[in-house]
Amino acid sequence: MYGSVNCNVRGKGKIEIKKDGSVNGDLTTAQIIIEDGAYFKGSIEIEQGAEREADGTCIGCAGGRRGAEEY
Q: What is the pTM of this model?
A: 0.69
In a domain, 65, yes or no: no
Terminal C-alpha separation, the chain:
9
- What per-residue confidence (pLDDT) applies to 56? 59
Looking at the domain assignment, is residue 51 inside a domain?
A: yes
21 occurs within a structural domain: yes
Please, are residues 48 and 60 in contact by the beta-carbon 8 Å criterion? no
Is there a domain that residue 70 lies in?
no
Q: Domain total for the chain?
A: 1
Query: Does residue 37 lie within any of the structural domains?
Result: yes
Q: Which domain holds residue 15?
A: 4-59
Which H helix or E strand runs over 39? strand 39-41
The answer to whether residue 68 is domain-embedded is no
Q: How confident is the model at residue 65, as a pLDDT?
A: 47
User: Does 69 reside within a domain?
Assistant: no
pLDDT at 70: 39
31 in any annotated domain:
yes
Is the pLDDT at 52 greater than 60, yes or no? Answer: no
